[in-house]
Structure 1
Amino acid sequence: MRYVAIGDSFTEGLGDELPDGTPRGWADRVAAGLAAAGDEPVEYANLAIRGRLLEPIVTEQLEAALALTPAPTLITLNGGGNDMMRPGVDLDRLVRLTERAVRRCADAGVQLVLLSGADPSQHLPLGAMMRRRGDVLTTAVADLAARHGLVFADVFHDAEIRRAPYWSADRLHLNAAGHQRAAGVVLTAMGHPTAAHVVDPGPAAGRRLAAEVRYYREHVLPWISRRVRGRSSGDSRTAKLPQWTPVTASL
């Protein structure tokens, strides 16, 4: 099996960093899970880059994935989260872009797995708007997958992963526990049942004013500044695993 993941920061693995600072994430964990579940070697590449909109994911990243030698046998695709945070997003266009990727993979004879990102909305400013958009896009992509007979992993509607213990300090990216749970959702959808990772809820933590001020200063204001300047957190970044890498069976 040769598995390549394409997408944005969710698929790159932000929030689930290894000791050397390299992001791991659900896709790395899925690759390891596939190696553990099967009796064949698994090679893995991850072309996802933080901040990417859906169009470059389904054009630049997808074409780079299909151009790998040897060719991939499996691709996972997630995207649209960065698009949904922008005013005036056209959700129908995101579905059309996804369908174009579906047809491109079908023409290339490569198995495609579609998945939705986790839902961060209850922790974010303007979260209600984000949840509405995410729900519409997730439902549409699930319908698209059903029409084409594809596996769809619905992380967005996993209620457990919405809880604060699964999220990083920026409240936008999953932490290690969140990525581990997302990997279980994806592996189970792919036919490899995996016990869902659950974090002990512990005592509920309230939000203190000082912590909220720090959150807006350290995370929200820099994001706004990048948007105003037309910059992205992924500018000048390249894929973390652009070539095939052997995977061992561990999570």
Structure 2
Amino acid sequence: MPPCVTAATLAGVMWHRYVAIGDSTTEGLDDPDGSGGYRGWADRFALAVARSQGGLEYANLAIRGRTTARIRAEQLPVALELAPDLATVVAGMNDVLRPSFDVDRVADDVGAMQQALVEQGATVLTFTLPDPAPVMPAARPLRGRVSALNEALRKVTASTGATMLDLGAHPVASDPRLWSDDRLHANSAGHERIAAALAHTAGLPGSDDSWSRPLATARRRPRQEVIRAELAWTRRHLLPWLARHLRGSSSGEGRVAKRPVPLPVDLD
């Protein structure tokens, strides 16, 4: 296996084509683009790369609701056909949310995707998942699953030659103020932080570790305010999510990738 790539070895590399594969976080939920769609960290990272080197082709194959196995089966073959020299592979949260979660299977699928892209000559970046408990107290029982998956991802990434951004090791990644109202997706500020973290990991000129710094201390909310917020979240997001999954449906049904063809990044 090739050695793990580090940010230092990436500095100065020029990339021609970036392809992102994954689920809703890579698609960009909940970072509105102002035109009815979503931007997200992948779009923001593509722009940072394009600006640093004067241009870049970019495709985003991610579709919300996709499990790791489906990303491997459906998106990886397309990504390989596009022959990127830069790729991001981020997956696993939809698996964590399912009763059938198998950490070894998810890690094997992620590792296989990383390996296939690395062997084809791509620089591959990925990141671990933030602790969900500070953002969504109801998800505290999933904390062990996320921790186990992150550890498995660290191990498999070290063996494939991909580059790991250990996002889950930084407490700021779980600051509720960087997450949207549904508590499953980053908000615009959160996506901006992830893009900055990837830029730093990739060694882009002008990037630094400021993305990892904590936000200012939040005010302590009155108990009644917290209770009202929890009830509102349950009504607006948790109950509809549970109903959808009990029906066996997915938020990604009938959807296609938002940017299936590599196009030049608009530097404006």
TM-score, normalising length: structure 1: 0.91
Count the aligned residue pairs. Answer: 247
Once the 2 structures are TM-superposed, how far is the Cα of residue 113 of structure 1 from its aligned partner?
Answer: 1.6
- Partners of 1:246 and 1:199 in 2: how far apart? 34
**Selected match of 1:33 from 43, 48, 61:** 48
- Partners of 2:150 and 2:226 in 1: how far apart? 33
Once the 2 structures are TM-superposed, how far is the Cα of residue 202 of structure 1 from its aligned partner?
Answer: 4.8
Equivalence for 2:30: 15
- Whether 1:62 aligns to 2:80 is no
| 1:234-245 equivalences in 2 (<5 Å) | 234-245=252-263
Over 3 Å counting, the alpha-carbon distance change for 1:30 and 1:143 in structure 2 is same
CA contact (8 A) 1:36 1:248 kept: no
**Selected match of 1:74 from 78, 83, 86:** 86
Over 3 Å counting, the alpha-carbon distance change for 1:249 and 1:153 in structure 2 is farther
Partner AA of 2:219 in structure 1: P
- Partners of 2:78 and 2:52 in 1: how far apart? 27
- Partners of 2:259 and 2:74 in 1: how far apart? 15
Q: SS of 1:67's equivalent?
A: helix
Give aligned-pair identity as a percent. Answer: 38
Q: Which structure 2 segments of 5+ residues have no match?
A: 1-15
Q: SS of 1:225's equivalent?
A: helix
Query: Once superposed, what is the RMSD of the aligned Cα atoms?
Result: 1.9
Equivalence for 1:246: 264
Partner AA of 1:90 in structure 2: D
Partner AA of 2:170 in structure 1: D
Superposed CA offset, 1:167-196 (max 9, x none): 111111110000011111111111223453
| 1:1-251 equivalences in 2 (<5 Å) | 1-39=16-54, 41-68=55-82, 71-192=83-204, 193-194=207-208, 196-197=210-211, 199-206=215-222, 207-249=225-267
User: Displaced runs of 4+ in structure 1, greater than 4 A?
Assistant: 197-202
CA contact (8 A) 1:4 1:47 kept: yes
| Larger deviation, residues 96-105 vs 83-92 | 96-105
Once the 2 structures are TM-superposed, how far is the Cα of residue 95 of structure 1 from its aligned partner?
Answer: 1.0
Q: Which structure 1 segments of 5+ residues have no match?
A: none
- Partners of 2:119 and 2:191 in 1: how far apart? 31
CA contact (8 A) 2:111 2:160 kept: no
Q: SS of 1:244's equivalent?
A: strand
| Larger deviation, residues 91-100 vs 148-157 | 148-157
- Partners of 1:42 and 1:204 in 2: how far apart? 44
Superposed CA offset, 1:196-246 (max 9, x none): 346544533344333322211110001100110000111111111111121
Over 3 Å counting, the alpha-carbon distance change for 1:247 and 1:123 in structure 2 is same
Partner AA of 2:158 in structure 1: A
Once the 2 structures are TM-superposed, how far is the Cα of residue 66 of structure 1 from its aligned partner?
Answer: 1.5
TM-score, normalising length: structure 2: 0.85
- Partners of 1:106 and 1:187 in 2: how far apart? 19
- Partners of 2:110 and 2:117 in 1: how far apart? 11
